[in-house]
Amino acid sequence: MMTATPLASTPQPIDLLIEPRWVIPIEPAGIVLEGHALAVDQGRIVALLPGDEALARFAPRQRMNLAEHVLLPGLINLHTHAAMTLLRGYADDLPLRSWLQEKIWPAEAKHVSPAFVRDGTLLACAEMLRGGITCFNDMYFHPQESCSAALRLGMRAAIGITVIEFPTTYAADAEDYLTKGLAARDQCRDEPMVSFCLAPHAPYTVADRTFERIATLAAQLDVPIHIHVHETQHEIDESLQQHGMRPLERLRRLGLLDPRLIAVHAVHLNADEIGLLGEHGCHIAHCPTSNMKLASGISPVADMLAAGLHVGLGSDGAASNNRLDLFREMRHAALLAKAASGDATAVNAHQVLRMATLNGAAALGLDGSIGSLATGKQADLCAVRLDDWLLQPCFDPASHLVYAVGREHVSHVWTDGKLRICDGKPLNIEPCELLDISRMWHNILCS
């Protein structure tokens, strides 16, 4: 009697198999994999497994061999004002209040329009994608235009519904800002790459009644609240004079401290306030370069992490940075934490990589779909080439990403499994168009 020979299992067809030298998945924490491959199908991660197993299990329609690269999740810029890329270098070497009141707000009053926001955000998205950023959390006017620019370049965006009390060319008062922002949210409801946040500008520009309305809306809509807070000592002194309490205490009394809160900058925090933020599960958007440039101070990030706070990284706008570059933010975050704490072990490379990816996703409520290379998540990915002679030798790819490489070493970027940057070149827009936009607005702003 003859025994039938079992048929070999047929490899599973998939869209893409990426074969890098190293993979840093972020989850589990602190590991670097070598000789592994990432399988992607229909925009999602199917598996992360040893390369030989991947070739036996899958039949990819496309294979990408990245022999000298490290693959990691796309970076998440937890705080920016994307359209302000048009104001890069417009007002430098000034403290925050002078920078805002004497230069930025007058320029915005004169020039901000739907076209300004669309064009500025388009420039910002191209710059961020080129540097490995696949998702950004924005706070600016005309949110529909920000949404359109992000979608054109295939970028994931959390769009802020900006709220302030005073009138601008965009809206007349706080209620008008909310009405227009919520209408934009309704228009983008079916866009899977877009989510929304409520974005009251800061305690010193938003009234108690408006904050109470925002707290109610955030609970009803289940969206984050994205706000500048404790950025400068002047802000705290002013709050003590006007309200008899520090800004964070005011937000607590108004019901804004909960896991939806993204506290941007959070430079001037005492131990009790760090504990308060941790107790309520709040998130921090740490913007080290902007904090340094505006002389706002050094955020106590090591203490925050020790207290269990979730800290993500933001670039702030290009007008106060002047780059939308999370590789530089990672480096500055790590080095400043060591210098401020006097502890060379504070905020190590893997912690900073998590801040730039999964922590940012968690703050936006998106950690179930992005932020790490876990099976089932969206394939938002970044590949960094490490064979440049200037980067040799490389003993630890995680260390290299934080302390050695720059955004110029990013070679490939994907969102939803679709290639957006290939060999350092954007695929959805020509650089000549970006240059034309820049030149046009430079001429307008100089006139």
Return the pLDDT at 288.
98
Mean pLDDT, range 140-165, rounded to an integer:
98
Return the pLDDT at 241.
98
Return the pLDDT at 30.
97
**How open is the CA angle 38-44-49, to the nearest 5 degrees?**
25
Mean pLDDT, range 407-413, rounded to an integer:
98
Mean pLDDT, range 275-284, rounded to an integer:
97
Return the pLDDT at 67.
95
Helices 114-130, 143-152: inter-axial angle, 10-degree rounding = 40
Return the pLDDT at 95.
86
Return the pLDDT at 8.
52
Answer yes or no: are the C-beta atoms of 295 and 272 closer than 8 Å.
no
Helices 143-152, 174-187: inter-axial angle, 10-degree rounding = 30
Structure tokens at 171: 């809206």
Structure tokens at 38: 């990432």
**Per-residue pLDDT tens over the stretch 315-357:** 999 999 999 999 999 999 999 999 999 999 999 999 999 999 9
* Cα-based distances in Å from 220 to 34, 207, 216, 258: 45, 20, 6, 14
**How open is the CA angle 341-347-351, to the nearest 5 degrees?**
165
Alpha-carbon torsion (125, 126, 131, 133), positive or negative: positive
Determine the Cα–Cα distance for residues 244 and 164; give it in Å rounded to an integer: 21
Element (H, E) at 48: strand 44-50
Mean pLDDT, range 86-92, rounded to an integer:
94
Determine the Cα–Cα distance for residues 417 and 46; give it in Å rounded to an integer: 11
Structure tokens at 152: 């054109």
Decide the pairing of beta strands 225-229 and 261-265. Answer: parallel
**Per-residue pLDDT tens over the stretch 91-139:** 999 888 888 899 998 999 999 999 999 999 999 999 999 999 999 999 9
For residue 114, count other CB atoms closer than 10 A to its CB: 14
Mean pLDDT, range 78-97, rounded to an integer:
94
What b/e readout covers 322-339, taking b as 16+ CB neighbours within 10 angstroms?
bbbbbbbbbbbbbbbbbe
**Per-residue pLDDT tens over the stretch 357-391:** 999 999 999 999 999 999 999 999 999 999 999 99
DSSP-derived letter for residue 66 is E
Mean pLDDT, range 79-83, rounded to an integer:
98
Determine the Cα–Cα distance for residues 282 and 278; give it in Å rounded to an integer: 6
Distinct helix (H) and strand (E) counts, the chain? 17, 17
Return the pLDDT at 7.
45
Mean pLDDT, range 23-37, rounded to an integer:
98
Structure tokens at 41: 């199908």
Domains of the chain: 12-73+380-416 (2.30.40.10), 75-363 (3.20.20.140)
CA 194 to chain centre: 13
Structure tokens at 282: 């709040």
**Per-residue pLDDT tens over the stretch 229-272:** 999 999 999 999 999 999 999 999 999 999 999 999 999 999 99
What value does the mean pLDDT of the chain take? 96
Q: Look at residue 291 and tell me whether its pLDDT is greater than 90.
A: yes
Determine the Cα–Cα distance for residues 316 and 328; give it in Å rounded to an integer: 12
Return the pLDDT at 364.
98
Determine the Cα–Cα distance for residues 301 and 74; give it in Å rounded to an integer: 22
